[in-house]
Each structure stands twice: as structure tokens, then as C-alpha cells.
């Protein structure tokens, strides 16, 4: 057999057996340098933009840790509170029945969200998957209610609730919020993206509308249902005017109404308001973190077909 030729060292350079010669680094072209510079500028701009959203939250935390409401002016001038007082969060529970207000907001928002998802999904199925005379005209009429301001409907809604005996009661705060034209529109647009061949295949197998709705459409429309649930929960959790006019007992007040009690005769207790607001923000923040991927997916899929 012929022996392989031995590797000869390059003239003028030391040779080490088993070591490969290094390759020269490629020159960076002006186009690549410009692209890196533009990406760096975009990154810096996004960081600065993100800081503008973080600064109000940081400012709220600093005010919540301020010892006295009168020291808020000092915080505004110096940027730091003169004395840190973590006990403001405990003072919130001592000054008002914050736990009861917190429970009321969660209870009302949760039940209103559950009922709204049920009613809107059923209405959206009827408007998107079932053919019946005048369906599109009825849907446009139903959608036209979104153009009516909520303030205009507040008086007739109050009269209806009062006539049904739901004034100053949980039912009056939950039942009117169980229906939403926007939620029906959102789920209808989402259900239109589901192929109709699935309905036809299920119908051939003998499935009725309820089985198609519960076993086929709802599982496929889960991202859209989660998006509606997030929107409905946030709207009812932050509702102010409807609980204000419909409740007179302190044990039915929600968090937005409970925060008003920190406005004393000597002026608003800003530090306690900020401390209570931070605690009130926890459920929406947790909800968004847990369901963030479903929120983005549901909005994207629901915008495919109109």
C-alpha cells in the first residue's frame, strides 16, 4: 500500500502537528456596520420607551412607601421619599374594610365574566354557524347597540334593575354585565375562521347543534374565549359608575368605590391610595401573566377573517 503523503509545514510559519491553521477574520462591510448601528439604535429607543411605562409604576411604589401624605411634595422635588413606611399597606386594612371590597370586586367580576362568556359564545355560534332567515340583519342591528353611549343606557338599565328588585344586591351588579354585543362580535369573528366542513362532517354522523357547539366549536375557539374572559374581567373589575349608582350599603362596595374613602376632610391620603391601588392591581397583573400567550394568539386568529 502507498503511504499517505506527510503534511509539510508552510514556509515561514511554525507548524504544530494536529493543529489547524487559523482563518483570517472576514472584513466587516459598511452595510453590515450600518445594520448593526441601526439595530443598536432601535434597541436603545425601545429601552427608553419601555422606561416611560415603568416610571409611573415606580413613582406609585415610592408614594405608597411615603410616611405622610404631606411628604408627597418632598418626593416630587427630590425624587425619593424622606422616610420609608412599609406599614402603609397594613394601614389600608385598618382604615377601611379593604378585604371586603377586594372580595366584592373579585366575586362580581368572576361571575360576570363566566356568564358573559357563556351567553356570548352561544350567540356567536348562532350568528356564525347556523343559517336562519334575517340572521345578518339581526346581527347588524345587534352590533349597532355598540354605537349607543353607555351613559344613555344607564338610566333605563337602572329602571329595569329597580323594577326587578335587584337594587343594592349582587344580582343587579352581575346580571346586566352578563351580556355583551362586543363579546358576541369578537367570538363570531373568531368562529368564522373555523372550517365549516367540521360542522358538515359532524352533522353526517348525527350530531346536533348542541353537540357541535360544545364538542367541536368551543374547544377550537378556546383562544377567543380566553381573550373575551380577560376583557370582561378587567372591565367589570374596574367598573365604577354602575356599582356607584346601584349600591348603598358599604358591604356591597367594590374596590374603585372603596378607594374614595381615603379622601378625608384634611385632603386625600395619597400614600394610602397608592398602597391600596398597588394591591388592587395584583389580580389583573397575575391574570395577564398567566394568559398572555392565549391573549396574543386569540387576537391574531380572530383578525384573520371578517
C-alpha grid cell, residue 63: 408614594
Instruction: Specify if 141 maps to a domain.
Output: yes
The pLDDT-based confidence of 306 (bands split at 50, 70, 90) is very low
Q: What is the CATH number of the domain that holds 133?
A: 1.10.3720.10
User: How far apart (Å, rounded) are the C-alpha atoms in residues 254 and 51?
Assistant: 31
User: How far apart (Å, rounded) are the C-alpha atoms in residues 77 and 297?
Assistant: 44
Instruction: Specify if 39 maps to a domain.
Output: no
CA separation, residue 145 to residues 104, 105, 149, 179, 184 (Å): 29, 26, 9, 12, 12
3-state secondary structure of 66: strand
Nearest to 240 by CA among 267, 259, 265: 259
Residue linked to cell 391573549? 295
CB 187 within 8 A of CB 124: yes
DSSP for 124-178, written as a single string: HHHHHT---TTHHHHHHHHHHGGGS-HHHHHHHHHHHHHHTT-TTSHHHHHGGGG
Instruction: Specify if 21 maps to a domain.
Output: no
Instruction: Specify if 180 maps to a domain.
Output: yes
Q: Decide if pLDDT at 69 tops 80.
A: no
Residue linked to cell 360576570? 112
Instruction: Specify if 62 maps to a domain.
Output: no
Residues 144-162 pLDDT 10s: 988 988 888 888 999 999 9
The pLDDT-based confidence of 29 (bands split at 50, 70, 90) is low
Mean pLDDT of 29-55: 82
Instruction: Specify if 201 maps to a domain.
Output: yes
- Beta carbons within 10 angstroms of residue 151's beta carbon: 8
Residues 205-228 pLDDT 10s: 888 889 999 999 999 888 889 989
The kind and range of the H/E element at 246 are helix 241-246
CA-based angle 29:31:35, to the nearest 5? 120
C-alpha grid cell, residue 99: 378585604
CB 85 within 8 A of CB 67: yes
How many domains, the chain?
1
User: How far apart (Å, rounded) are the C-alpha atoms in residues 87 and 66?
Assistant: 10
The pTM for the full model equals: 0.79
Domain region containing 205: 111-253+284-302
Q: What are phi and psi of 232, to 5 degrees?
A: -65, -40
The pLDDT-based confidence of 34 (bands split at 50, 70, 90) is confident
Instruction: Specify if 239 maps to a domain.
Output: yes
C-alpha grid cell, residue 198: 367540521
Instruction: Specify if 49 maps to a domain.
Output: no
3-state secondary structure of 247: coil
Residues 111-139 pLDDT 10s: 999 999 999 999 999 999 988 999 989 99
Amino acid at each position: 500500500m502507498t503511504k499517505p503523503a506527510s503534511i509539510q509545514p508552510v514556509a515561514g510559519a511554525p507548524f504544530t502537528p494536529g493543529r489547524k491553521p487559523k482563518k483570517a477574520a472576514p472584513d466587516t462591510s459598511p452595510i453590515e456596520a450600518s445594520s448593526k448601528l441601526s439595530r443598536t439604535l432601535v434597541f436603545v429607543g425601545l429601552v427608553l420607551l419601555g422606561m416611560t411605562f415603568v416610571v409611573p409604576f415606580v413613582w406609585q411604589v415610592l408614594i405608597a412607601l411615603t410616611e405622610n401624605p404631606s411628604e408627597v411634595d418632598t418626593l416630587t422635588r427630590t425624587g425619593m421619599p424622606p422616610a420609608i413606611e412599609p406599614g402603609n399597606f397594613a394601614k389600608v386594612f385598618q382604615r377601611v374594610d379593604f378585604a371586603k371590597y377586594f372580595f366584592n370586586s373579585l366575586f362580581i367580576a368572576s361571575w360576570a365574566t363566566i356568564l358573559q362568556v357563556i351567553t356570548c359564545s352561544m350567540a356567536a355560534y348562532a350568528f356564525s354557524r347556523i343559517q336562519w332567515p334575517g340572521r345578518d340583519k339581526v346581527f347588524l342591528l345587534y352590533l349597532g347597540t355598540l354605537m349607543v353611549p353607555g351613559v344613555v343606557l344607564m338610566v333605563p338599565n337602572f329602571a329595569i334593575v329597580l323594577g326587578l328588585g335587584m337594587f343594592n344586591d349582587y344580582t343587579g351588579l352581575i346580571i346586566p354585565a352578563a351580556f355583551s354585543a362586543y363579546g358576541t362580535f369578537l367570538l363570531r369573528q373568531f368562529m368564522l375562521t373555523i372550517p365549516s366542513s367540521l360542522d358538515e362532517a359532524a352533522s353526517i354522523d348525527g350530531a346536533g347543534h348542541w353537540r357541535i357547539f360544545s364538542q367541536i366549536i368551543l374547544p377550537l375557539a378556546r383562544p377567543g374565549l380566553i381573550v373575551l374572559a380577560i376583557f370582561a374581567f378587567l372591565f367589570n373589575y374596574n367598573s365604577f359608575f354602575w356599582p356607584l349608582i346601584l349600591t348603598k350599603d358599604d358591604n356591597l362596595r367594590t374596590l374603585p368605590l372603596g378607594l374614595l374613602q381615603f379622601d378625608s376632610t384634611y385632603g386625600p391620603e395619597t400614600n394610602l391610595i397608592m398602597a391600596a391601588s398597588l394591591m388592587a392591581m395584583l389580580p389583573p397583573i397575575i391574570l395577564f401573566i398567566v394568559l398572555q400567550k392565549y391573549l396574543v394568539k386569540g387576537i391574531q386568529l380572530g383578525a384573520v377573517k371578517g
